[in-house]
Structure 1
Amino acid sequence: MMHDEHRDYITIKDEQGNLKDFAVEALFEMEGRSYALLTAEDETMVMQVEGEEGDQYLVGISDPVESQSILDAYQIAVEEAPAE
């Protein structure tokens, strides 16, 4: 797997026990909660960031509708952000 030097990577185990590397594309907040946008070759997912600074972990969002609505809202925010 080709890794971009400027990105953080995280390995996630799925329900079948398979390990997969995801790039951390973005960290963002929405409605007072923190989320991480993760991508692999064929998959994009959003996970909630729990815990305090220095002791944080990712929690999967079990509701696919909630996950998609967070992803949609993030995409809209990115598209509407002023270009620097």
Structure 2
Amino acid sequence: GRMVVINHREGLQTRYAQLGSITVKVGQAVQRGQAIATVGNSGRPSSSQPHLHFEVRSRSNLGWVAEDPQPLLLKDLQRRNQAQQ
């Protein structure tokens, strides 16, 4: 299926899969909040409904290793809440 991979400065990588259309090009720099794709059901999803497959990976001596995205998402949410106060 269609997938966008974003390599972040902190040795992290985010992956967005099962996409409809992709609005960025290979090697293009993206900004926080920028639309990179539309949700879809490309590939062989277990659901025929549009949805997003989201992964966070970190660089290690084994390559890119999957991580639990919750701590990263909570940290970003806290940062946003503090910025609004």
Scaled to the shorter chain, the TM-score interval is 0.3 to 0.5
TM-score (norm 2): 0.36
Q: Compare relative contact order (CA 8 Å, sep 6+) and give the higher one, 1 or 2.
A: 2
Greater share of strand: 1
TM-score (norm 1): 0.36
